[in-house]
Amino acid sequence: DLKTSKKSLLSVYNVLYSSKYSPTIQRVLTDEASLHKLEEICLRSMDFVTIKTNIETGLIRSVYELQKDILWMCQNALMITLD
């Protein structure tokens, strides 16, 4: 497991957060109705705020862990919009 510096991980996070599709995912995951769906149908709640917090606290220490959480977030957004 390759460890990556927090600065590098936050740099990747910032690129994703500032992408043109980021607002769509943020809107889906922060909508009040979606939050109830998220609790009901998603195995692991994940959003941009949680990912950033996990990087800052050291829970995410590699690019692989970051990728895993980003995929969880995207999967959750898809499940909510398709439900």
Tokens 């917090």: give the residue: 53
Cα-flanking dihedrals φ and ψ of residue 72, to 5°? -60, -45
23-76 tens-digit pLDDT: 988 887 777 777 777 777 777 888 899 999 999 999 999 999 999 999 999 988
Closest by Cα among 38, 5, 1, 80 to 13:
5
Model-level pTM?
A: 0.82
| pLDDT for the residue numbered 2 | 58
pLDDT value for 83 = 63
Contact of 14 with 51, CB cutoff 8 Å: no
